Chains A and B, each alone.
Chain A
């Protein structure tokens, strides 16, 4: 009897049957080259026209699509305007001016000195936190989607635990389509590498599981406010 572990035997049973069904051995150089090439070249399929618009149109599309998915959005010229926009939003919703955020240098460098009215603390959120603030790695115009990377800068639970989330995205970081964002991530982290969690977020949480009525705020945030900078 072989000395394979139970796990190895199960692996062999599954992959072995796949190979038998395909009529291959698994070590064919030509097949391996095809798989290697596909992963290295990662060709794109058709990218919808909506995701290939000119930069000025892109931001308009992004905001339009995000609002269609029930997010709210504000646009500020400069980073200095972020905290004012944020306060305006929270007041308009009667929400506490008190939020949790990560260690993102961009967030840290906001004009906190002039906004003493904002209560804030750093770290992953605790269940009592009602508002979170996070920085998006990118926006995608095609569907009004925000791309969030996990890590100390923006802990992933910021996106899911509090009932209200405010996400800041630089206008320059808004891409037309998903593929552009993956290229940017590859350039930053090296091909084939990902943070533990990449979240695409398109609007606030929702469910239609009770009597087919669509309701916001099922488990994740019921409010998603986007501040576009630039």
Chain B
């Protein structure tokens, strides 16, 4: 399955299949709440957390306002440290640039750190199609690579896979190892993967990582991992390529500290991830290890056009995944249902921008607007508001189904005419109460069978909101 071919248009069918998938449901129950609880503890342990969120938001807002100039500074710093910065307007440009660097290095094997941007541009498929053996080294990414899947979570890519499935996958993929080996314990699986991937690290000609941050002051790319795979990827091969998206920039080392203080706590509930690595240019003349050749590929892919629009705030996203962990929709259907690279609330906002609202229109609709995503976002991104913007665009562009458009049209006609609205409500309310009978609940409704199929509608009791409002004002006045 290719990571780049979106199937977000089939969200409804995907979601239905996910709900019926017992194995997936078991995996989802095993994971989600753990993240939520760990984050809660980490936040409780840092009284300054909310202040840091405000500051982190302000840092990114400032950076976006001066983004062109910070890139100029960044480029210069990378250059004087023996590296190269490449700008890629499109996913295709980014793939071509990376392939070109690999070809110049006569690379036969590439190791990769975890990178959502590489998923976005479909890099693995491209390199493999061009005869370069491309190996994912993050354990979760490695598991889904040998399963031929795409990540279902931006932090825990294999969260949908159970331990038993991993064991079966390893037995299939590592056919050279003794068939009678004991893989029942997770520790044995980790040990086996470590041994297999160690050989790849040592054999690779090029290492490709993503970046959590780029720092203008020093020209550094920051990679955060817990496994250390990103570090072996960038320190053993002779070529290191960083693939980063345009919005990863921050001005200074101090600004990086503030964002790092909210990142790990929001992502995994750790005080800090195990490895936070600042890579700056190629190895120095006196260095005995590290890459001799260093490149940063900066992917735009439509992001520069988000600046100055109602979607600009999304460019503050640091991909911590907190919105995903706290989303009741994601927790129910898992990440694959979203049909492309980015799941959950952040995906519901970003995906329509990157692949088009015509393809991804279901995603911003797959939300109950409960607001948990915004309440936990370390960068204070107003995710529900932006999903609403997408719904409005979908409506304006006549992309919603006719029944939805018709229903919304009728609603708009009535709701924008106060007298008509009052009259309609005064008729409808007693009628609903009448049909509901003594139970006070409606178990079926015309045109809303999908809704009442799973729950009853409580019937209105007594007066309307407007009637109550008027009465209170009269009393107060």
Contacts and interface: CB of A to CB of B under 8 A. Distances in A.
Count class of interface residues, chain B:
35 or more
Contacts of B229: 218-219
Contact of A218 (B31, B47, B194, B201): B194
B253 interface: yes
A197 B276 CA distance: 10
B86 interface: yes
A193 interface: yes
A48 B46 contact: yes
Interface string B435-448: 00000000000000
B339 interface: no
Nearest to A159: B231
Contacts of A74: none
A46 interface: yes
Interface in B126-178: 137-140, 143, 156-159, 162-163, 166
Count class of interface residues, chain A:
35 or more
A189 B8 CA distance: 50
> Which DSSP category, helix, strand, loop or mixed, fits chain A's interface?
loop
B218 A194 contact: yes
A210 B166 contact: yes
B437 to A, nearest CB: 48
B67 interface: yes
A46 B55 contact: yes
Contacts of A194: 81, 218-220, 278, 280
A209 B254 contact: no
Interface stretch (B299-307, B397-405, B410-418): B299-307
Interface string A146-164: 0000111001110111000
A83 B254 CA distance: 36
B305 A210 contact: no
B288 A152 contact: yes
A43 B217 CA distance: 12
Interface stretch (B116-124, B266-274, B355-363): B266-274
B314 interface: no
Nearest to B291: A196
Interface in B220-234: 220, 226-229, 231-232, 234
A132 interface: no
B218 A152 contact: no
A199 B275 contact: yes
A218 B218 contact: no
Contact of A145 (B272, B279, B288): B272
A170 B357 CA distance: 56
Contacts of A115: none
A187 interface: no
B23 interface: no
A60 B411 CA distance: 64
Contacts of B72: 15
Interface in B240-260: 246, 251-255, 257-258, 260
Interface string B175-202: 0000000000011011100100110011
A214 to B, nearest CB: 9
B140 A201 contact: no
Nearest to A127: B202
A142 B260 CA distance: 13
B139 A218 contact: yes
A95 interface: no
Contacts of A191: 217
A98 interface: no
Nearest to B46: A48
A33 B306 CA distance: 25
A139 B73 CA distance: 29
B257 A178 contact: yes
A110 to B, nearest CB: 20
Contacts of B228: 160, 205, 218-221
B93 interface: yes
A207 B159 CA distance: 12
Nearest to A38: B251
Nearest to A39: B217
A212 B159 contact: yes
Nearest to B280: A194
A219 B137 contact: yes
B298 interface: yes
A192 B219 CA distance: 8
A110 B293 CA distance: 35
A181 B51 CA distance: 22
B279 A197 contact: yes
Interface in A10-68: 10-11, 13-15, 17-19, 21-24, 26, 31-32, 34-35, 38-39, 42-46, 48-50, 65, 68
A17 B303 CA distance: 9
B13 interface: no
Contacts of A198: 220, 277-278, 280
A211 B30 contact: yes
B106 interface: no
A50 B278 CA distance: 24
A196 B257 contact: no
Contact of A155 (B191, B287, B304): B287
A7 interface: yes
Contacts of B280: 194-198
A32 to B, nearest CB: 6
29 contacts: A10-B86, A10-B93, A18-B67, A19-B68, A21-B307, A23-B308, A34-B66, A38-B252, A39-B217, A42-B251, A45-B258, A48-B46, A48-B52, A65-B271, A102-B288, A150-B289, A155-B287, A196-B284, A199-B231, A206-B226, A209-B139, A211-B162, A211-B166, A218-B226, A219-B194, A219-B232, A220-B231, A220-B232, A220-B274
Question: Top 9 nearest A-B pairs by Cβ distance?
Answer: A220-B228, A211-B163, A209-B140, A21-B307, A218-B227, A17-B304, A42-B252, A209-B139, A200-B276
Given A14-B246, A24-B68, 20 more contacts: A7-B87, A18-B246, A21-B305, A21-B306, A21-B309, A23-B308, A39-B216, A45-B55, A45-B56, A45-B255, A69-B272, A156-B289, A182-B253, A195-B284, A198-B278, A200-B276, A205-B226, A208-B226, A210-B190, A217-B190
Interface of A: 7, 10-11, 13-15, 17-19, 21-24, 26, 31-32, 34-35, 38-39, 42-46, 48-50, 65, 68-69, 102, 123-124, 127, 142-145, 150-152, 155-157, 159-161, 177-179, 182, 191-213, 215, 217-221
